[in-house]
Amino acid sequence: MGAGVLLLALSGIGLLRPVESVSFTVFAPLENGLRSLARPIADIVANYGDLRDLTLENERLRTENERLSAENARLREEATRREELERLLETKNALQDQQFLAARIIARDTTNLRQVVAINRGREDGIRTGMPVVTQGSALVGTVSKVGPDHAWVTLITDVDSAVSSQLSESRAQGVVAGTYSRRLAMEFVDQNATVREGDTVVTSGVGGGYPPGLVIGRVTGVGTNRQDLFRSVTVEPLASLSKLETVLVMTSFAPLRLSAP
């Protein structure tokens, strides 16, 4: 116990950082190798368990396909109109002109309390703390929280320490998407009078400078109806499949703002 407290104290003042970095450099190839060996088995286990779910989901997707085709036609018309408006307002797409670096997930934090993954890119590759991380489909995954010479830790948006300034793309209602211990996302501080519906898309708002605006976080899956509460309680399902991540993109061209006190 005493050794543990001593190590904790030394780690807190940064004395053990070189040890941690070197050990990760040594162990990362081993972890990578083990994951490569285990991946086929994990795929089989996952597929077997998913068979019944897949059948049900297939039916659900057929129905939704029909609905989406109709909505697609309507959205094409709206997109044309929006492009005209964006040109007028000079609004940029969040991912336009951004640079990305692909990285592979090599490890996860060993406790179930935290949602943090390690990637195989680090300081030598230009990774810095605070850089947003997205999937290849541009869904928000998390942010770089700790950087080593050749690896980095990414705190996922479902981690309890994560808080992302966000808004609903439909109603523009603002809030903060925070991770919970149940691996779901809770959109907090949403005004009671805001229009929130199941299925609404939640995106980053850019407020606070931690993320560029417009990155898709997820969809609303539940809306609390208790008018006694100060704010509405909104549950959000992340768009990125965070438990099955293998490859991510680090937005290396985005530097989070460090705002000073007013």
Binding stretches for another protein (CB under 8 A)? 1, 3-12, 16, 19-20, 23-24, 27, 30-32, 34-35, 37-39, 42, 45, 106-114, 116, 118, 146, 153, 160-161, 180-183, 243
The full length of the chain comes to 262
By beta-carbon proximity to another protein, the closer residue of 35 and 128 is 35
**Smallest distance from the beta carbon of 154 to another protein, in angstroms?**
10
Which positions ≥6 away from 251 have C-beta within 8 Å? 98, 99, 100, 131, 132, 133, 134, 212
Find residue 219's DSSP bridge partners: 201, 237
Find residue 258's DSSP bridge partners: none
Cα–Cα distance, 152 to 141 (Å, whole number): 14
By beta-carbon proximity to another protein, the closer residue of 6 and 61 is 6
**Smallest distance from the beta carbon of 76 to another protein, in angstroms?**
38
Cα–Cα distance, 25 to 121 (Å, whole number): 11
By beta-carbon proximity to another protein, the closer residue of 4 and 199 is 4
**Smallest distance from the beta carbon of 36 to another protein, in angstroms?**
10
**Smallest distance from the beta carbon of 184 to another protein, in angstroms?**
10
**Smallest distance from the beta carbon of 179 to another protein, in angstroms?**
8
By beta-carbon proximity to another protein, the closer residue of 12 and 199 is 12
List strand residue ranges (DSSP E) for the chain, in order: 100-108, 116-119, 132-134, 140-147, 152-156, 163-168, 174-179, 185-191, 201-204, 216-223, 231-238, 247-251
CA 114, distance to chain mean position in Å, is 14
**Smallest distance from the beta carbon of 155 to another protein, in angstroms?**
9
Q: Which amino acid is at 4?
A: G
By beta-carbon proximity to another protein, the closer residue of 94 and 121 is 121
Which residue, 257, 160, 177, is CA-closest to 210?
A: 257
By beta-carbon proximity to another protein, the closer residue of 114 and 232 is 114
